[in-house]
Chains A and B, each alone.
Chain A
Amino acid sequence: MHIPDGFIAPQVYGPAYGVAGVLWAAGLRRLRRTLEPSVMPRLAVVTAAAYVLMLVAIPLPGGTTAHITGVGMLAALFGAWQAFLSLSLVFLIQALALGDGGVTSLPVNALCVGLGGGLAARAGLLLRPRAVGVFAAGWLGAAVPALLVALVLGWQPHLARDGAGQPLYFPFGWQLTVPAIVLPHLLVGIADGAVALAAWRALGRGTP
């Protein structure tokens, strides 16, 4: 689900950096006030698990692959803000250490997957019984970011074209990106839900 460099127009990633920058600063300020130091070991382990889980490619019908993001697990255990900040850090390190994703696409990935996924996962947590809510958090944490990424990518050909009318960045519109990206992640969401549920059972009892 990581968008690589070169697929997003500057008129999108420029403002996205502005929005994400404000949210990163606000999120850090909020966490400095509210996060208990005793939670940090668990947070480090779960963030590291999300990083590693993203390395595991799940083969899908049609020859493509997708991966778990762990955003539902992070949001269920620590909240949407922490999911956003943790995933942003993971995306930055993946871009620098592995070349996955990209530096220009970093804020788009962080906003779509970290923030969009985190908020969707928290909405899923409202479902009862609690185990169903946690599974829904994991599933929505995969499905909603996939939709957001598909919408952003499908927007690019409408935004930037050359003199001959050819797309300058990502070339496919929504009619192709939405099914190509969202449908596989409806399946991947099942794995994300199972991981969120397992993490919540192991570490999350008593979390708000």
Chain B
Amino acid sequence: MPPTRRFRLIPGAVTVLGLLLALGVPAARAHGVRTEVLAGPTSVVTVTHDDGSPLADTPFTVLAPEGAGPFLTGRTDAHGRVAFQPDRPGAWKVRVAGADGHGAVVTVAVDSAALAAPATGATVATHHAHEHDHAHDEAHVHADAHAHDHAHDHDHAHTRDRWSGAIAGLLLLLLVLGVGGVLLRRRRG
């Protein structure tokens, strides 16, 4: 490639990639799937698109630890939720899958303490690990002002995670290809 063309390529590429990132990262929030798990006497798995819209009316299967056959099957509710009452401790699996290939397989770790907890007790885990310094209970499923604030904070944190992940991935990609280019150049002398 002539040197002048190579020098035109770099600022052009930076501009195009920057614009695509600015457009792509917020838009990508609607394509991925995230999950939230409340493990307890009544365990709830909530599956949403990255923009918070639920995977509603999507088929799910709950598989018990070392169980033969599904423990429960059905379709997610309007909020993308699956609720079930585990009858033994262990790693429960919840598979939510649409025919278009969108979905997730989530492990719900239920221990004896969680099973013995009062019906309102639950522990929360999300696909993206954030600190939860307050106890959630099943009122979590009711929309109230706190839940809205929490969801709002959650979305912001998720967008930050998505941005940092996307940029880190881009830099890693360019690093790998850059190292590959240097090695190739050395090999060719």
**Chain A positions near chain B (C-beta within 8 angstroms):** 1, 3-7, 32, 35, 37-45, 47-49, 51-53, 55-57, 59, 64-65, 67, 89-90, 93-94, 96-100, 149-150, 153, 162-164, 166, 170-172, 176-177, 180-181, 184, 203
Contacts and interface: CB of A to CB of B under 8 A. Distances in A.
A53 B20 contact: yes
B132 interface: no
A183 B95 CA distance: 24
A89 B176 contact: yes
Contacts of B99: 172, 176-177, 180-181
| A-B interface, 6 closest residue pairs, ranked by CB to CB distance from nearest | A6-B105, A164-B69, A97-B169, A40-B181, A57-B31, A55-B24
A180 B28 contact: no
User: Interface size bucket, B side?
Assistant: 35 or more
Of B97, B103, B105, B172, most A-chain CB atoms within 10 Å: B97
B69 A38 contact: no
Interface string B61-98: 10000001110010000000000000000000001011
A39 B105 CA distance: 41
Given A5-B105, A37-B184, A49-B17, A55 B27 contact: yes
B116 interface: no
Contacts of A93: 169, 172-173
Centre residue among B16, B49, B100, B162 by max chain A CB count within 10 A: B100
B25 to A, nearest CB: 6
B114 interface: no
A97 B68 contact: no
B61 A166 contact: yes
B142 interface: no
A64 B105 contact: no
A108 B13 CA distance: 30
A51 B104 CA distance: 22
Given A51-B169, A55-B25, A65-B30, A181 B101 contact: yes
DSSP majority for the A interface?
helix
Given A7-B105, A40-B180, A166-B61, A94 B169 contact: yes
A41 B10 contact: yes
A55 B163 CA distance: 11
A47 B176 CA distance: 11
Given A6-B105, A47-B177, A163-B68, A170 B172 contact: no
15 contacts: A7-B103, A41-B6, A44-B173, A51-B170, A52-B17, A52-B170, A64-B102, A93-B169, A98-B169, A99-B165, A163-B68, A164-B68, A166-B69, A170-B97, A171-B97
A205 to B, nearest CB: 11
